Amino acid sequence: MELCRLFALVLLVVRLVFHGDAEDSELEALLSFKNSVDDPLVALNNWKAGTDVCQWIGVSCSSVGRITGIQLDSLSLSGLLPFSTIQTLPQLRTLSASGNNFTGIKISPQKCSLEVLNLSSNDFTSHFLDILLVTCKDIRQLNLSHNKLRKISLKGTIGHVMVSVDLSHNRISGSIPASFFTLCKSLRFLDVSSNQLVGGVPEDMFINCRSLQELSLSSNNLTGEFSGLRSSNSLQKLNLSTNVFTSFQIEHCPTLEELDLSFNNISGTVFRKDCGSLKMLNLSDNHLSGPFLSVFANRTLATVFKSLKVLQADHNNFIGELPTVPPSLEVLDLSCNFFSTGNPNICPARSSLKSLLLVYNRLHGRVLNSAMNCGNLEMLDMSINSLAGPIPVDMCSRLPKLQHLLLWGNNLEGSIPATISNCSELVTLNLSFNNLTGVIPQQISGLKKLWLLLLSNNMISGAIPASIGSMLSLRSLVLGHNMLQGGLPSELRNNKGLTLFLVNDNQLTGQIPSWIGRSSEVEEDKITEVTFPFLMVFAINIEASICKAYEEVFILQGIRLDDFEQLPFATRCRRWFFLAPPGFNLTIYSLVNSPLAIDLSHNSFTGTIPEEFGGMRDLNVLNLAHNLLTGAIPSTIGNLKNLEWLDLSQNWLESHIPDSLGNITFLKYLNISNNKLFGRVPQIAQLALFPVSSYEGNPGLCGFPLAECASLHNPFHDDHKDENDGDGHGDQTILAAIVGGVRDGRHCLHV
């Protein structure tokens, strides 16, 4: 016991002795560093003489009090990085100063002992890699990404000890320095993506860098042929996307797991050898053409790939028959090609396929039947083709795991089978823009997990099933442009989470029930999160006389927004697009207190507009146009603080325009034309800024922007203007609000 105490005392003395030495020299070095940088947030305020340097912000020490690490990330430091003041610290192994505003660096020729250097996300512009690698020969990890470096003039090599180099997201131009790959036996990770590099890739890259496991050259301007994988025995991830490569041939890939060749100009055969370890392959946006298997030297996918899970080959020029997928594949995207023929064997026995995207091809006939053997499917999207025939009655028994079924923009016929209720996992059902007839089956209420039900632009008749009121997860009910009859079933009042309610252009009658105007409190403990993998587009007409009641919801995946904008769905009307990008989480919809959009237009609803409509605090769009509504415009409409779109045109409304409408500060579109309104147009807020077309067709209205008020009268005796009057024009698309970016890419237009 006494021996242990003596040993502990000796260690304490040694630590105090060495700590005292370190405090003098190393404290002085750090104070010099502090005095040389601009520190607007006073982040280094505890770097003070007379205090324990090992307790300073961002400073790490060894057990004997020597400085081993400095971490100064995201402190808004700026100026020149005074690297020379600390590079001689004998035990300093790590320096991280990412997320600051340094523009340059001061380096002395003295040797440093750094092993890890992270200067990412600054504003460095000058080149200093040469002198850095000469003075700090022990650096193993170097990160200079997200700066403004313009060139690499590396006279030496990166050395045999370097393991990881990240120069991505700079402005580096010129060719890739061959010196990078002279002495690089330890290099495992190299990222020079998102620069301005040109030319080809050095042939000896994989010969000398034999430990290289991850390489990213994406988002540059590299050209020519890439065939350097012949010598690679360790590469696991290779990203060459968004360049100008014209050829890529793979003849040796024993360890390759991920390969991204998207957004190039590659054509011809790519795989001449098997890649048994490959799990993810992206061939999207190239110039690949002909039968699909020609890319693989006419061998089956199951022969080439034993472990492949994700295969993306959208936006190419493939033709002919759909391929048979390997048993391991989970995701297949062949959208925006020219495939015309189905394949009854697209899924072999024991198929793992979960997602099948065949959007915007030339598939015709009963190709939907081809997918019935893919028993593990969760996502099936064959939208924008020429599929024909009925929806298979046994679809749900054969695809019991289906969560998203998107078949919009085809020629499907017949009625929606009652057996659709067996797809109990469905979250999205989009059958819009087909030739479906019959009625909506009562059994559809069995889809208890359904969030999106889109059946618009068909020939569906009958009543809206009252059973839909029991679908408590439903968020969007889109039934427009059909031949639905009767009234709105009172059971729909139970759908308290409904955010989009579009039943426009049908034959619905009766009064508008007041329960539509509900505003309820959200029970947060009952909120369910659903993240959708596709782009959702809510389209609103600008000129309804061209496109009758053409409010729609489109679901896009496998096709980009700029492609969609060229299709008849988008070009036939002049409209606003509101977008929710892929990954958009509809939990935000669960948190609203009322619907976001209601469209009851182009029906035969009678009676008055319910006063309760003024309680919908989150309402953005309200369209009641082209009905037989009478009475006054409720003053409570002015309570809709979030309303952006209001159309009450082509009714029999008889009243003054309520001054309260001027309280709707976000209102962008107003149309109350062709009613029996009278009195002066309120000259308040934006009501005086809307054009004549917003108010015309009301003989008793006057005041700017209409004619001056000579005498005011109640024109109840005036005839109602014919609801078909109007001469709106325009077929261009306007992007009015975008909630997230959509990646640019080539158009996939079928001529």
Quote the distance between the C-alpha of residue 319 and its chain's center.
Answer: 28
Confidence of residue 25 (pLDDT cuts 50, 70, 90): confident
| Residue 252 clears pLDDT 50, i.e. is over it | yes
For position 195, what pLDDT does the model report? 96
Average pLDDT over every residue of 692-712? 90
> What global pTM score does this model have?
0.88
Confidence of residue 19 (pLDDT cuts 50, 70, 90): very low
The amino acid at residue 355 is: S
For position 555, what pLDDT does the model report? 85
Average pLDDT over every residue of 313-338? 97
**pLDDT winner (highest mean) among 10-14, 306-310, 547-551:** 306-310
- What pLDDT digit, counting tens, does each position of 431-450 carry? 999 999 999 999 999 999 99
DSSP H/E element including 31: helix 2-36
In the chain, % of residues over pLDDT 70: 84
| Residue 585 clears pLDDT 80, i.e. is over it | no
For position 250, what pLDDT does the model report? 86
Are 152 and 172 within 8 A, CB to CB?
A: yes
Q: What's phi and psi for 156, nearest 5 deg?
A: -90, -145
Average pLDDT over every residue of 223-246? 89
d(CA 509, CA 340) in angstroms, rounded, equals 43
Are 716 and 654 within 8 A, CB to CB?
A: yes
For position 15, what pLDDT does the model report? 45
CATH, range 8-113: 3.80.10.10
Residue of 134 and 638 predicted with greater confidence: 638
| Residue 286 clears pLDDT 90, i.e. is over it | yes
Q: What angle do CA 641, 647, 651 make, to 5 degrees?
A: 130
For position 750, what pLDDT does the model report? 60
For position 12, what pLDDT does the model report? 44
- What pLDDT digit, counting tens, does each position of 257-268 carry? 999 999 999 999
Residue with tokens 């050829």: 247
- What pLDDT digit, counting tens, does each position of 336-384 carry? 999 999 999 999 989 999 999 999 999 999 999 999 999 999 999 999 9
In the chain, % of residues over pLDDT 90: 67
Average pLDDT, the chain: 87
Residue (of 415, 420, 486, 413) closest to 453 by Cα position: 420
| Residue 724 clears pLDDT 50, i.e. is over it | no
**Domains of the chain: which residue ranges?**
8-113
For position 180, what pLDDT does the model report? 73
Average pLDDT over every residue of 719-728? 41
Residue (of 295, 298, 340, 299) closest to 313 by Cα position: 295
